[in-house]
């Protein structure tokens, strides 16, 4: 047996025994930082937390082929000026430890330094800004968390930190510091934290990032082997992205992402009869995201609404019908309602890669700014879109209309661009999911005259008949959704 193997075995023995006899050790004891930086060290005692994290996008961050492809292309097209910009968030310990300067050598970087790790998050001592990972880490071996009465454990010292307490608004600063990204211009290409700060969720009765994305257990349970009973917090941290291809806990990750999406929107599908012809209106409210929807890399996201009107079995109108395997932006549909950001270069023309961006225009759905209907911002998340768009009427009155809301975390057109440049393998395109959001009674909402359960007076003074499987009131104030979802010059 080699010396390294004997050391590893001895270290594992000590860690396992420390979990079971932690209260006998003083709070000053701590394993070497190199061990604490390795997530597998945490797995020895924090079994559930490690399992959840191992299937999260935080664990996947440095392995994600789309990130790798974008970083590789960005380094080439900027002649290296991109530097650590991407990898500073996708493998921050590797940058901090000097293992990489640009992310192009991640295959040779130790696994303990890849992704957003346990040590990285639980060592944060200060937040020195609002974007691009301005987090300051401590090298004192103290793992910071949400519990005001931590118990010693013989592996690491522990301390309470409001930055890690999901019940404190300051905890959102820790998450937001990495989930807001600004490039030259300055152009805020990712604004999740900034969006949250402008919503009702950031108020005293709102919800922090952790309260939405780190579900708290209902029962008390040990957060470590033989540890004290606590209300623990899930570490899978689902959002809109998910792993492409084989990855630990993939089935659980897929279910968690779908559950997160299903809590986001309320909708109503309405039909107005006008002298033997009709118009369709779709009302959508972003009630559950806590920030804009979609968010994060919104310029790469694709969320669209599929509306189909029938007379009997005959389709008399459709919009947002995107065949499987086709990019939503490539469909010649003048009425397409597509949620995304558009990026523009210095000349005002559309660009497709973030390092080219000098400005942006967004048509994402904002979250509510207030719960008071008398205050400005109450209706800003309550958007209405009309079909057809060109102030015309349907060719007849439908007896059935269906709605689906479809989501691609990264648009197929973005992947096609990276594949064409030789930076991404075709397998990533095949693996990219297309998800449908549950609208209250399944992923398809269907209007008929018999099932209609709501109504409102539309802008033409005509009563619109609506179907909704949520609490959305179609008669409340609304904002007009963009007339065009295409990236015209700003």
Tens place of pLDDT for every residue, the chain, 490 residues?
333 333 334 344 334 344 643 333 334 567 889 999 999 999 999 999 999 999 999 999 999 999 999 999 999 999 999 999 999 999 999 999 999 999 999 999 999 999 999 999 999 999 999 999 999 999 899 999 999 999 888 889 999 999 999 999 999 999 999 999 999 879 999 999 999 999 999 998 899 999 999 999 999 999 898 888 999 999 999 999 999 999 999 999 999 999 999 999 999 999 998 877 899 999 999 999 999 999 999 999 999 999 999 999 999 999 999 999 999 999 999 999 999 999 999 999 999 999 999 999 999 999 999 988 888 788 899 999 999 987 688 988 999 999 999 999 999 999 999 999 999 999 999 999 999 999 998 999 999 999 999 999 988 889 999 999 999 999 999 999 988 888 887 6
Helix (H) or strand (E) holding 66: helix 65-77
pTM: 0.93
Torsion of CA 206, 208, 214, 216, to 10 degrees: -50
CA atoms in the 13 A half-sphere facing the CB of 360: 27
Q: What pLDDT does 396 receive?
A: 87
Contacts of 448 (CB under 8 A, 6+ apart): 399, 400, 467
Q: Write down the pLDDT at residue 19.
A: 62
CB 400 within 8 A of CB 310: yes
Q: How far apart are CA 240 and CA 291, in angstroms?
A: 13
Residue 48 DSSP one-character state: H
**Cβ–Cβ < 8 Å for 357, 325:** no
- Residue bearing tokens 């700060």: 197
Q: Is 474 helix (H, G, I), strand (E, B) or coil?
A: coil
Instruction: Tell me which residue of 21, 29, 323, 344 sits closest to 158, measured CA to CA.
Output: 29
Structure tokens at 350: 């559309």
Q: What would you report as the CA-atom Rg of the chain, rounded to the nearest whole angstrom? A: 25
Q: Which residue has the tokens 């998910």?
A: 242
- Name residue 159's beta-bridge partners: 144
What is the predicted pLDDT for the residue at 14?
39
Residue 17: its pLDDT value, please?
41
φ, ψ for residue 272, nearest 5 deg: -115, 130
Residue 275 confidence (pLDDT): 76
Residue 165 near residue 122 (C-beta atoms within 8 A): no
**Residue 409 confidence (pLDDT):** 98
d(CA 490, CA 458): 30
């Amino acid at each position: 047996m080699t010396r390294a193997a004997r050391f590893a075995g001895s270290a594992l023995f000590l860690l396992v025994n420390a979990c079971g006899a932690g209260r006998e050790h003083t709070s000053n004891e701590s394993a070497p930082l190199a061990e604490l930086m390795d997530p597998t060290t945490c797995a020895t005692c924090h079994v559930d937390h490690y399992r959840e994290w191992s299937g999260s996008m935080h664990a996947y961050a440095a392995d994600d082929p789309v990130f790798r492809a974008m970083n590789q292309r960005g380094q080439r097209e900027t002649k290296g000026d991109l530097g650590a910009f991407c990898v500073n968030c996708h493998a921050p310990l590797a940058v901090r430890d000097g293992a990489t300067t640009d992310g192009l050598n991640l295959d040779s970087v130790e696994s303990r330094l890849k992704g957003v790790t346990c040590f990285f998050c639980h060592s944060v001592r200060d937040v020195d800004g609002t974007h691009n990972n301005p987090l300051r880490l401590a090298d004192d071996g103290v793992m910071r968390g949400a519990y005001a009465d931590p118990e010693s454990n013989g592996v690491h010292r522990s301390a309470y930190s409001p930055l890690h307490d999901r019940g404190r608004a300051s905890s959102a600063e820790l998450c937001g510091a990495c989930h807001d990204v600004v490039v030259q211009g300055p152009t805020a290409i990712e604004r999740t934290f900034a969006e949250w700060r402008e919503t009702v969720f950031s108020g005293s009765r709102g919800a922090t990032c952790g309260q939405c994305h780190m579900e708290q257990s209902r029962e008390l349970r040990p957060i470590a082997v033989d540890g004290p009973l606590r209300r623990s917090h899930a570490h899978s941290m689902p959002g809109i992205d998910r792993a492409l291809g084989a990855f630990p806990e993939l089935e659980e990750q897929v279910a968690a992402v779908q559950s997160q999406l299903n809590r986001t929107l309320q909708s109503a599908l309405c039909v107005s009869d006008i002298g033997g012809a009709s118009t369709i209106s779709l009302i959508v409210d972003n009630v559950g995201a806590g920030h804009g929807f979609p968010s994060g890399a919104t310029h790469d996201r694709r969320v669209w609404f599929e509306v189909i009107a029938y007379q009997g079995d005959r389709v008399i109108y459709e919009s947002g019908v995107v065949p499987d395997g086709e990019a939503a932006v490539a469909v010649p549909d003048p009425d397409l309602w597509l949620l995304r950001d558009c990026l523009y270069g210095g000349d005002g023309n559309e660009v497709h890669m973030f390092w080219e961006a000098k400005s942006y225009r967004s048509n994402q759905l904002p979250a509510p700014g207030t719960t008071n209907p008398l205050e400005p911002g109450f209706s800003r998340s309550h958007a209405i879109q009309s079909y057809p768009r060109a102030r015309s009427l349907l060719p007849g009155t439908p007896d059935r209309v269906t709605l689906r809301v479809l989501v691609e975390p990264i648009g197929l057109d973005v992947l096609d661009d990276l594949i064409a440049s030789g930076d991404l393998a075709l397998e990533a395109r095949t693996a990219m999911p297309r998800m449908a959001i549950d609208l209250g009674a399944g992923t398809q909402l269907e209007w008929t005259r018999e099932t209609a359960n709501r109504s409102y007076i539309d802008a033409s003074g005509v009563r619109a008949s609506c179907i909704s499987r949520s609490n959305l009131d179609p008669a409340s104030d609304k904002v007009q959704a963009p007339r065009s979802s295409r990236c015209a010059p700003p």
